[in-house]
Structure 1
Amino acid sequence: MRRLISTAAVVTAAALSLAACGTTESASDGSDKAADQIRLTDATGAKVTLDGRAKKVVGTEWNVVESLVSLGVDPVGVSDVKGYKTWDSVVPLKNTPKDIGTRGEPSMETIASLEPDLILATTDLPASAVKQLKKVGPVLTVRPADASDPIGQMTENLELIAKATGTEQQAATLDKQFEAKIAAGRKKLDKAGLAGTEIAFADGYVASNQVSIRPYTDGSLIGDVNKRLGLKNAWKVEGDKDYGLATTDVEDLTGLGDDVRFAYIGGESSGDRDPFAKNLTKNSVWKSLPFVKAGDVHQLPDGIWMFGGPESMGAYIDALTDALTK
């Protein structure tokens, strides 16, 4: 983790930002600032007070950045801007934010130089990093995923960020649009006779010439969306408590049923090799799988962030239902 630089400019910026977290003048002094304050409680239980709706916002993780963009707020700072543009191109940045470093190690110096009204972080960021961020400006921390209620967590995060930025109306519109996407997608699948179809969604990567496959179980956001669409998750492995993700290999795919449809996002535009379309084409186990033989392997378009918000999930619904009903 980069240490916070101790220049006079940064210290001044941090002091100004911290002052924004404190109480404003009392009403008895003739100030109406107290009435404009926004008081929030984040995922860690921390109380966050803003003097008004946040306008200069930094996002340390792509899901909170997507929420900002969807709500009509252009972030002034984003972690790994190039990576966001690659993996979340369906919700493109509309401005040119400052790159603040990697998602796991944001630059405190760069963030301080932006003098943000608010820094959006997630519980994936180490507590020590969040502690440093709080020396720079107000920090609102969200839980990026919850396998017990993935869609509920997505919605909760969007609404909390909307409160901080004064965009509650936009959040309500996004929620309605997402529900409409679910309803339309379910109707489309039902009409095609695909209600209750087993689906296995995954991504994969290659390490030391070995293909590792990452199943998205019912506890994943995509798994929850699939369930809402009336599909049945074919994965029998257990996912982690936050993202609902698991790890398996090609041999374990033989345990999937004969009528399973397989879908994935390959990440071709990121420069990664697509393990399903390239590395496994000569693998005898892969070629023997029923869904491979039946041509029921569906590569969905890149740029749909699998851990994003309502707009990413809406794009996923469109892509999946189009692929399954061709």
Structure 2
Amino acid sequence: MPFIRTSKFYVLALIAALAFTLAACGNSGNNAGSAATGQPSQEAAASGGKIVINDELGTVELDKAPEKIVVLEFSYADALVTLGVQPVGLADDDDPSLLMDEVKDKLGSYTSVGSRYEPNLEKISSLQPDLIIADSDHHKNVLDQLKAIAPTIVLNDHLADYDMALNNYMVIAKALGKEAEGQKRLEEHKATIEAEKQKIKETDYAILPAVVNPKGFFAQSDHSFAGSFLTSIGYSDPVKNEEAYPQLSLEQLSETNPQVIVLLPTEEKTIVNEWEANPLWSKLDAVSGNKVLTAERRNWSLSRGLIGSEHIIKDIAAQLGE
């Protein structure tokens, strides 16, 4: 009888030791995955692991990858479609034509939640989102209401330069549980930019993009998305202003005297139509050198993302390249 009790003891001990070893191996594998990437492993995410995001205001914790997402800037829609994700709601200023064609073609059906500046909170709530992506400038007055509806990531988009926009992209990719896909698409983006740069022989001059409407000329300095993207590929910024979007008079524009101007009109008739009758306009290097170009604002200024910047460099390569 003592022998039987001892045998049972050894068998139970062996089983316990084996179970402990398997558990230790499993934990070691998960920890290694997290340490290697700095983020929860895909297995952890799939099993309900939390996603922790650092945004402009602090930390946002998601119980799982969100499925119903409302985005309040065009660039966020740009980011989502590159990751194969469809938003349920989008602040499109009640005008889908403001979306880039490349983004619109990839978007499924969505609910417009109104203006980017004053999104319709009731519509957002009715969609029952599990994530809202907002802008720190445009939505600072409604952040508490947005957070009461759903977890809200706050990014600096409106005043972001190109590098900040790329960082925003990876924050969004992580929030969606698609960090690997995001990194792959980012590498493809960089390759596209390099390939298009090879088509541009000369970048040794000052170039100024500007949104123009009937009331004003709003330059985009190298603190803006488009302006900083152009300096990143070799052009110089003639404005040298700490503001991202300084409004310039014709006299101030004459002082900066860019060699290339890219007009981004909001409508058919703008302040430039008035300026063309002024001798100061004709004396600008860009005007006398026949380098006043026109591009679509939605491509250069509204969609501050991967697709937007790829469109910018393709426009530049087509108009100023070989």
TM-score higher than 0.5:
yes
- 2:196 aligned partner: 185
Selected match of 1:68 from 56, 80, 88: 80
In the alignment, structure 1 segments of 5+ residues that lack a partner are: 1-31
Aligned amino acid, residue 155 of structure 1:
L
Structure with greater helix share of residues: 2
Once the two structures are TM-superposed, the CA of residue 39 in structure 1 deviates from its matched residue by 1.8
Selected match of 1:239 from 238, 242, 265: 242
Number of residue-to-residue matches in the alignment: 276
SS in 1 for 2:138: coil
Q: Over alpha carbons, which structure has the higher Rg?
A: 2
Maintained 8 Å contact 2:212/2:266: no
Maintained 8 Å contact 1:90/1:312: no
- Spell out, residue by residue over 1:155-206, the C-alpha distance to the aligned partner (whole angstroms, 9 max, x if none): 11111111111222331133113212332233222xx3x1322212212121
CA distance in 2, matches of 1:280, 1:170: 47
- Spell out, residue by residue over 1:123-151, the C-alpha distance to the aligned partner (whole angstroms, 9 max, x if none): 0134441101111111111111556xx22
Distance 1:142 1:99, change over 3 A: same
SS in 1 for 2:157: coil
Q: Does 1:255 align with 2:255?
A: yes
Distance 1:130 1:311, change over 3 A: same
CA distance in 1, matches of 2:184, 2:96: 24
Distance 1:200 1:186, change over 3 A: same
CA RMSD, Structure 1 to Structure 2 (Å): 2.4
SS in 2 for 1:124: coil
State the TM-score, normalized to the length of structure 2. 0.78
Maintained 8 Å contact 1:87/1:267: no
- 1:20 aligned partner: none
Distance 1:70 1:39, change over 3 A: same
SS in 1 for 2:183: helix
CA distance in 2, matches of 1:319, 1:135: 42
- 1:316 aligned partner: 312
- 1:273 aligned partner: 269
Within 5 Å, give how 1:213-228 maps onto structure 2.
213-228=217-232
- 2:52 aligned partner: 39
Distance 1:35 1:56, change over 3 A: closer
Selected match of 1:195 from 203, 213, 233: 203
CA distance in 2, matches of 1:79, 1:156: 21
CA distance in 1, matches of 2:149, 2:288: 56
- 1:282 aligned partner: 277
- Spell out, residue by residue over 1:275-307, the C-alpha distance to the aligned partner (whole angstroms, 9 max, x if none): 43x443333321232321221111124530425
Q: Does 1:78 align with 2:90?
A: yes
- The percent of aligned pairs where both chains have the same amino acid is 25
- 2:164 aligned partner: 153
- 1:204 aligned partner: 212
Q: Does 1:59 align with 2:71?
A: yes
Once the two structures are TM-superposed, the CA of residue 59 in structure 1 deviates from its matched residue by 0.8
- 1:25 aligned partner: none
